């Protein structure tokens, strides 16, 4: 699908180099029980790609021997990988913080009825997608009935203690704009989310993370079909803020695909822009057993302007 997108280049984006590696963001599978319009992974129910046992074993070896602090699990719906729970338990036993990028509706899928309880027992931090606190907006972006199931998922997480003050169980919500615009100020939108969700549904959570839509894959193709791709790219360029460069996630995070290959971020993974190492064009998990990435140049293209536009954007929300 993304083959029809205009060629992205790196002529204008400033060069970046890596700092110390602290986070492994692992794409366990492209399989998902949803098919969202903004999804940069093109995930869905018919995708079959998933990390195999040999690569999982190598990942566990890297976790055991490398000084990473966080394992960030994504997909697709990462929970649909048959060894998701085993990997979570291994990482927690090694003392890592584990983040689950949860779409909320997975909590009510058959076979996942006890997932909320498992995540709470393992003290997994949850970053849950909820693009709006209004039913129509969510269903328009993610499919009919998704809002109701998302609310039920949040209530199930609250019942386990997630988002409740003093519980230590972190529940973050993730917001993406519906169209070709930048997210509003994160603090203001977080206040609105908290007020509406608590008043209407009795739901509490810790933080709202605002993420700018990347002009790639499914969202990029939608922009092309509507004739707004170039306007959106110009908006990202015009909104560039140099201060955001110091905090972009690619300086301390490595994205790992289901085959174990490494990328500077999840977006580069979707564009097949591998993280290079000296002597090889494409690096793999096995390289992390013997090499450090400090000072390695980061592969950039024009889509990187999405991370530096306005208040900035990363998997951890706004940068500024």
CATH code for the domain in which residue 137 is found: 3.20.20.70
Integer angstrom CA distances of residue 165 from 95, 101, 135, 157: 23, 21, 26, 13
Residue at 136 is within a domain: yes
Terminus-to-terminus CA distance in the chain, angstroms?
33
Q: What tens digit of pLDDT does each residue of 14-26 get?
A: 999 999 999 999 9
The domain of 55 spans 2-308
Residue at 320 is within a domain: no
Candidates 173, 164, 160, 146; CA nearest to 113 is 160
Burial of 237 (0-12, 13-18, 19+ CB in 10 A): middle
pLDDT at residue 1 is higher than 70 = no
Query: How many folded domains does the chain comprise?
Result: 1
CA distance 102 to 172: 10
Give the per-residue pLDDT at 277. 87
Beta-bridged to residue 102, according to DSSP, are 128
Residue at 316 is within a domain: no
pTM: 0.91
Work out the average pLDDT over 177-186: 92
Residue at 99 is within a domain: yes
Residue at 314 is within a domain: no
Residue at 206 is within a domain: yes
Residue at 209 is within a domain: yes
Structure tokens at 188: 């203001």
Residue at 315 is within a domain: no
Q: What tens digit of pLDDT does each residue of 185-209 get?
A: 999 999 999 999 999 999 999 999 9
pLDDT at residue 144 is higher than 90 = no
- For residues 266 and 27, the answer to whether their CB atoms sit within 8 Å is yes
Q: What tens digit of pLDDT does each residue of 241-295 get?
A: 999 999 999 999 999 999 999 999 999 998 999 998 877 788 999 999 888 899 9
């Amino acid at each position: 699908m993304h083959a029809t997108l205009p060629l992205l280049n790196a002529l204008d984006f400033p060069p970046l180099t890596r700092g110390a590696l602290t986070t492994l963001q692992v794409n366990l599978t492209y399989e998902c029980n949803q098919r969202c319009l903004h999804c940069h992974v093109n995930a869905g129910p018919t995708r079959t790609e998933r990390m195999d046992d040999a690569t999982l074993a190598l990942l566990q070896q890297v976790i055991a021997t490398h000084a990473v602090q966080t394992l960030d699990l994504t997909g697709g719906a990462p929970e649909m990988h048959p060894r998701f729970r085993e990997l979570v338990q291994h990482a927690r036993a090694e003392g890592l913080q584990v983040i689950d990028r949860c779409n909320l509706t997975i909590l009510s899928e058959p076979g996942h009825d006890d997932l909320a309880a498992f995540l709470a027992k393992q003290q997994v931090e949850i970053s849950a997608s909820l693009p709006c606190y209004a039913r129509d907006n969510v269903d328009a972006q993610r499919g009919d009935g998704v809002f109701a199931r998302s609310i039920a998922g949040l209530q199930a997480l609250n019942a386990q203690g997630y988002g409740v003050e003093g519980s230590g169980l972190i529940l973050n919500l993730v917001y993406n704009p519906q169209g070709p615009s930048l997210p509003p100020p994160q603090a203001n939108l977080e206040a609105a989310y908290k007020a509406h969700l608590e008043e209407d549904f009795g739901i509490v959570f810790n933080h709202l993370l605002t993420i700018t839509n990347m002009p790639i894959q499914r969202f990029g193709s939608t922009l092309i079909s509507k004739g707004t791709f170039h306007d959106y790219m110009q908006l990202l360029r015009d909104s560039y803020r140099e201060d955001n460069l110091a905090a972009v996630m690619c300086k301390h995070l490595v994205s790992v695909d289901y085959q174990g290959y490494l990328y500077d971020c999840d977006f580069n993974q979707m564009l097949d822009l591998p993280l290079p190492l000296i002597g090889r064009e494409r690096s793999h998990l096995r390289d992390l057993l013997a090499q450090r990435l400090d000072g390695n140049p980061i592969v950039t293209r024009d889509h990187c302007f999405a991370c530096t536009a306005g208040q900035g954007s990363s998997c951890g929300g706004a940068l500024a």
